[in-house]
Structure 1
């Protein structure tokens, strides 16, 4: 699966589950320590906004400031998700995004590397969201394989301090291995 297809698949996985969230779900805890469903959704929508900004040429610090000054979900979390997802997909489809350098909190990286971060983040959080709201947590198998490839190429914990559990062996399913690598069960 190529990276743009993976971004579309990750976007579908998260969006499908977010559409299932009801009023009682927003305060449920998630596998992300200290985060509830509202915070998790705001994190992913904020990540979309951040991506749109830095792919548009903004510095990471300016993009973070812009994102932090905005209510991520507003009155309609699903609409915020859908609007920012479409804009993020459009930004990544722009010409020469793979080779272009972008400013990121981890330093200057290529658009391709940034796309890998976004695919990773949205995919893993789709699973988190599913677990939190009691939805189907089985991720698309091709997407899982793509994200495993990203994790293999990327820095440990994808640069975000995520510690693998080290419990999944070679006989575990690809999804179980991915979850283990991201500190999840």
Structure 2
């Protein structure tokens, strides 16, 4: 299962990279379903998260993590070539997750101490759902890979209540539905139908 989440993380991250390649020059300041972020801020967040995988798996503590350049809001992780920055961040994270033993190692994360395998699951979910955010923001097909959606929902549903609420908006009332993508998005504080109406 752990290895599956590393694979899923890479798949979700490559999907995110493909979306970044489709961002129009005039879309970087467009709003996203993450109300506090425009498109550039959303991409910036994903890149920082990917880059943080390496020091977190290296065992850095939270105080040290907070002093790294990638934790500084004024540090530009995208530069003049955001697509290359995103791709490079995925490469280094995937390489870090592939190191022997890291999935069983306890690491320190703002969401709490956890084993590397759980970190892989969190990162997978984050990049997958932010892919949906980005697709919505730039107006392309936001249907996620159903295999990835099932894997993300199976991982997140049992633990969503134990994660700090600062990471997610309040789960919306989406009503009875068998649509797994809507169920997943709701767990992460998103209602695709409501956002479309307000976009």
Question: Mapping of 1:51-70 within 5 angstroms?
Answer: 51-66=53-68, 67-69=70-72, 70=75
Q: How many equivalent pairs are there?
A: 184
Q: For the Cα contact (< 8 Å) 2:6–2:121, is it kept in 1? A: no
Question: Which stretch of the first structure deviates more once superposed, 24-33 or 64-73?
Answer: 64-73
**Are 1:163 and 2:166 matched, yes or no?**
no
Selected match of 1:139 from 137, 140, 144: 144
**Are 1:90 and 2:95 matched, yes or no?**
yes
Q: For the Cα contact (< 8 Å) 1:14–1:122, is it kept in 2? A: yes
Deviation at 1:153, TM superposition (A): 2.6
The answer for the alignment partner of 1:17 in structure 2 is 19
d(CA) in 1 for partners of 2:151, 2:36: 28
Structure 1 consecutive aligned stretches of length 4 or more whose deviation exceeds 6 Å: none
- SS of the counterpart of 1:25? coil
Under a length normalisation based on structure 1, what TM-score does the superposition of the two structures give? 0.93
Under a length normalisation based on structure 2, what TM-score does the superposition of the two structures give? 0.86
Question: Which stretch of the first structure deviates more once superposed, 130-139 or 51-60?
Answer: 51-60
- SS of the counterpart of 1:153? coil
Deviation at 1:168, TM superposition (A): 4.0
**Are 1:111 and 2:113 matched, yes or no?**
no
The answer for the alignment partner of 1:32 in structure 2 is 34
Selected match of 1:80 from 79, 85, 106: 85
d(CA) in 2 for partners of 1:168, 1:17: 29
- SS of the counterpart of 2:94? helix
**Are 1:174 and 2:170 matched, yes or no?**
no
Question: Which stretch of the first structure deviates more once superposed, 78-87 or 54-63?
Answer: 54-63
d(CA) in 1 for partners of 2:66, 2:51: 9
| Structural RMSD (CA) | 1.6
Give per-residue Cα distances to partners, 1:84-127, cap 9 Å, x unaligned: 10000000111111110111112221111111110111011000
Which structure 1 residue ranges, 5 or more long, are not aligned?
none
